Amino acid sequence: MSTESETVKAAAKPKRINFTQACVMAMDEAMAADPRVILLGEDIADDQGGGVFGATKGLSSKYGTDRVRSTPISEQAIIGAAIGAALVGYRPVAEIMLMNFITVAMDQVVNHAAKLRFMSGGQTKVPITIRMATGAGVGFGGQHSDMLEAWFAHVPGLKVVMASNPADAKGLLLACIQDEDPCLFIENTSSYGVSGPAPEPGYIVPLGKAAVAREGSDVTVIGYGTAVGKALLAAKTLEAEGVSVEVVDLRTIAPYDEAAVLASVAKTKRAVVVHEAVRNFGVGAEISAMIHENLFSVLHAPVERIGSAYSPVPFSPVLEKAFLFKQEQIEAAIRKTMNH
């Protein structure tokens, strides 16, 4: 029984969590609800630190190291083990420390996880979740920072998800774990400590559904992950200039919410697509093409695309900054659509 003062103290607690806590919360809820949810990954058990970013902290102590397994540095073996267990009823969550490391396991992801449901004629399925951190801006250089979502979005059979805030991270990760298809859940390395309003227990965000992060009437900015925060800041700047910006947060990159994008752009008649990934051949190209195909006759301006520079992610802070997409670029793109 809690005393009155403890209750007051608890109620007064600011209900905020960061991305790391959001991940822990999602996996904790999923594991509590389903004994067949297991975690695999390098250093994820508490004796090894609970994950290099702390995103599995406490889970091996709570659920045991049978269900929360630290693995050798063997990405193919990690993803293969997840796939095999998933084929017979488990819901494994594999942590691939950094997204670049998934390249080592591409065969397992692309040739197996993505295709076994189809190639078996629906006799088997692969309900795995692959969690990966990535993103530039933290000085990790060329092999620890790439945003590779477009590769996976191009493979039929995979779902690709990235949250823009901790509550969504919790809700989307839980949805990935419960989903019947293989999901890649992208976490942003520099955002783990970023906090936001805490969701209620059980909070889940359906896959394939975008959110309107900010309502507006003149131009729609479409993004996901770190792009959403920058788009919201750009929207504030433009508001001062008398431009009303709507921000659509995709939340699921593949399959993305076409209807939500089209509904917003049909209203604003202008669109800017933004992502941290390199602009060339990026997700922005697909969304831009889709908007043009559907709304060409009503658009007031061509769809603008913002992404990072065509370069490996550089190490030197000066170059890394030059590489990364910027809020100012989003603002300039919005103005361009307004002045067309």
Partner 1 sequence: MPSENIKEIDRTILIDIYRRANLIYRADEKFRATILAGELQIIYYSPRGQEILSAALMAAINQDDYLVTTYRGIHDQLAKGIPPKELWAEFSGKATGTCKGKGGPMHITHPATGVMVTTGIVGAGLPIANGLALASQLEKDGKVTVVCFGDASTNIGAFHESLNMAQIWKLPVIFVCQNNLYGEHTPQAMSTGCKEIIDRAPGYGIRGVQVNGNDAFAMYHAAREAVDYARAGNGPTFIEAKTFRFFGHLLGDDSHYIPEEEMSAAKRADPMPAFRAALLDRQIPEAELDAIDADIAAQIAEAAQFAIDSDYPGEDEIRHDVLEAEIAA
Q: How far apart are the first and last CA of the chain?
A: 65
Options 47, 180, 241, 328; binder of partner 1; rule CB under 8 A: 180
Cis peptide, bond prior to residue 255, ω within 30 of zero: yes
Closest CA to 76 of 44, 113, 124, 35: 113
Three-class SS state of 328? helix
Based on the residue annotation, tell me whether 144 is a catalytic residue of this protein.
yes
Interface with partner 1 includes 261 (CB under 8 A)? Answer: no
Please name the residue that has the structure tokens 């800017």: 272
Options 6, 16, 118, 215; binder of partner 1; rule CB under 8 A: 118
Interface with partner 1 includes 108 (CB under 8 A)? Answer: yes
Closest CA to 40 of 89, 15, 77, 12: 77
Interface with partner 1 includes 111 (CB under 8 A)? Answer: yes
C-alpha count within 13 angstroms, C-beta hemisphere, residue 216: 27
Three-class SS state of 85? helix
Q: CB under 8 A: which stretch of 146-154, 178-186, 273-281, 322-330 binds partner 1? A: 178-186
Least Cβ distance, residue 183 to partner 1 (angstroms): 11
How many residues make up the chain in this entry?
340
d(CA 127, CA 113): 9
Closest CA to 269 of 217, 205, 194, 222: 217
Least Cβ distance, residue 264 to partner 1 (angstroms): 20
Least Cβ distance, residue 175 to partner 1 (angstroms): 13
Catalytic-labelled residue, pool 144, 275, 292, 300: 144
Q: CB under 8 A: which stretch of 67-75, 133-141, 221-229, 329-337 binds partner 1? A: 67-75
Interface with partner 1 includes 169 (CB under 8 A)? Answer: no
Least Cβ distance, residue 204 to partner 1 (angstroms): 16
Enumerate the H helices of 66-115 as residue ranges.
Answer: 75-87, 106
Interface with partner 1 includes 173 (CB under 8 A)? Answer: no
Give the x/- contact pattern for partner 1 in 73-102, rule: CB under 8 A. -x-xx-xxxxxxxxxxxx-x----------
CA distances from 235 to 67, 277, 286 (A): 44, 21, 23
Interface with partner 1 includes 156 (CB under 8 A)? Answer: yes
Least Cβ distance, residue 119 to partner 1 (angstroms): 4
d(CA 243, CA 241): 6
Q: CB under 8 A: which stretch of 121-129, 244-252, 321-329, 332-340 binds partner 1? A: 121-129
Would strands 68-70 and 129-134 be described as parallel, antiparallel, or unpaired?
unpaired
Q: CB under 8 A: which stretch of 15-23, 177-185, 232-240, 330-338 binds partner 1? A: 177-185
Least Cβ distance, residue 80 to partner 1 (angstroms): 2
Interface with partner 1 includes 27 (CB under 8 A)? Answer: no
Measured from the CB atom, the residue of 71 and 226 that comes closer to partner 1 is 71
Interface with partner 1 includes 291 (CB under 8 A)? Answer: no
Three-class SS state of 332? helix
Interface with partner 1 includes 72 (CB under 8 A)? Answer: yes
Interface with partner 1 includes 125 (CB under 8 A)? Answer: yes
d(CA 322, CA 161): 26
- Classify each residue of 285-303 as buried b or exposed e, where b means 16 or more C-beta atoms within 10 Å of its C-beta: bbbbebbeeebeeebebeb
For partner 1 (CB under 8 A), the number of binding residues is: 44
Closest CA to 129 of 159, 160, 94, 156: 94
- Give the footprint of partner 1 on this chain (CB under 8 A): 38, 66-67, 69, 71-72, 74, 76-77, 79-90, 92, 107-108, 111-112, 115-125, 156-157, 159, 179-181, 255
**Active site amino acids:** 144
